Structure 1
Amino acid sequence: MPYITLSDQIKKLHNPQRSDAFVKQLRNAVREGDIDAADLQVRFDLPKRFAKRGTDETYTRKVRDMIIDVTPAFEEWFENINRELTPARNGGRIKVSVAAVESGLVDFKSLAEETRKKMDASFNKGQALGKSRAGKAPRKSSKK
């Protein structure tokens, strides 16, 4: 059976700034029995940079390392969590691009539906504006 440490697994995250959230998710999964892992005595620095309020200083946090049993279930769990943690927290939106659609980070069907709704709303707004102006007399110019 292959094993990997938490510190090595974190290096595989697409967004290292979410490493603290990953550690929290992993510990929850271990506690619930979804994943087999054990604590190690060593600690390591998370790659996430934390900002101190009111200053430009940043710092890192140390967490206890773990040894994880790499099973197909763990690999599937990791892929799902990694995908969830990929978008940035501010806004939580992924920039729409061909690569994002092809990788599955953006759902194309929902994106197309959203675009369709925007286009329909814009069209209806234009139609309503045209109808409201149709019954009015043309404005007279105040130029002399």
Structure 2
Amino acid sequence: MAYRKLSEQVQELSNPQRSDAFVKQFREAVREGRFDATFLTERFTMPKTFSRRGAEGSYQRDTRDMLFDVTPEFEAWFADTNEALASTRRSGNVKPTAENISAGLVDFKALAEETRRKMQASYEKGQALGKSRSRTSAGGGTTTRSRSKN
């Protein structure tokens, strides 16, 4: 039986910035019984670097190391998981900057159509607001009450 440490396996990831996701999936697979592993007393530093919002610099996280049995089932699982993590992760909304539009990350035609719809909706809202104001002031006007002097 060949045993390997989780810290050694993390070094074989093709995208080390996804090491936190790999460790999470690894532990989930152990919990589900896909392969056997045990916690070790030592810890290791994951290769992923994190950055704090609104602060300078970056940091890395430590996690408990595990020892697991390298089986053909594990090798197949690792190949699939590594391939999935190597590809770009779910992307959030890409900001419509000039660089992103030029690079083709954002569809210019779709953005132009969305802008056109927003401008038209804004224009129609303004027109409706103007019409509603002209209707209320045309009929009513201001009235003055006369006071009787006794």
Which bin holds the TM-score, normalised by the shorter protein?
Answer: 0.5 to 0.7
Q: Does 1:23 align with 2:49?
A: no
Q: Paired residues, what number? A: 92
CA gap 1:12/1:42 in 2 versus in 1, 3 angstroms: same
Q: CA deviation at 1:89?
A: 2.7
| In 2: Cα distance, 1:90 partner to 1:69 partner | 31
Indicate the residue corresponding to 1:14 in structure 2.
14
Indicate the residue corresponding to 1:81 in structure 2.
81
- Give 2:45's aligned amino acid: D
Q: CA deviation at 1:26?
A: 0.4
Indicate the residue corresponding to 2:70 in structure 1.
70
Indicate the residue corresponding to 1:135 in structure 2.
none
| In 2: Cα distance, 1:17 partner to 1:48 partner | 4
Question: Larger radius of gyration, structure 1 or 2?
Answer: 2
Classify the secondary structure of the residue corresponding to 1:39.
strand
| In 1: Cα distance, 2:20 partner to 2:56 partner | 20
Indicate the residue corresponding to 2:5 in structure 1.
5
Counting aligned pairs with the same residue, the percent is: 54
Task: Specify every segment of 5 or more residues in structure 2 that has no aligned partner in the other structure, as ranges.
Answer: 93-150
Q: CA deviation at 1:19?
A: 0.2
The 4+ residue runs of structure 1 with deviation greater than 3 A are none
CA gap 1:40/1:52 in 2 versus in 1, 3 angstroms: same
Q: Deviations over 1:91-128 (max 9, x none)?
A: 39xxxxxxxxxxxxxxxxxxxxxxxxxxxxxxxxxxxx
Q: CA deviation at 1:6?
A: 0.2
Q: CA RMSD for the aligned pairs?
A: 1.3
Indicate the residue corresponding to 2:41 in structure 1.
41
- Give 1:49's aligned amino acid: T
Q: CA deviation at 1:88?
A: 2.9
Indicate the residue corresponding to 1:137 in structure 2.
none
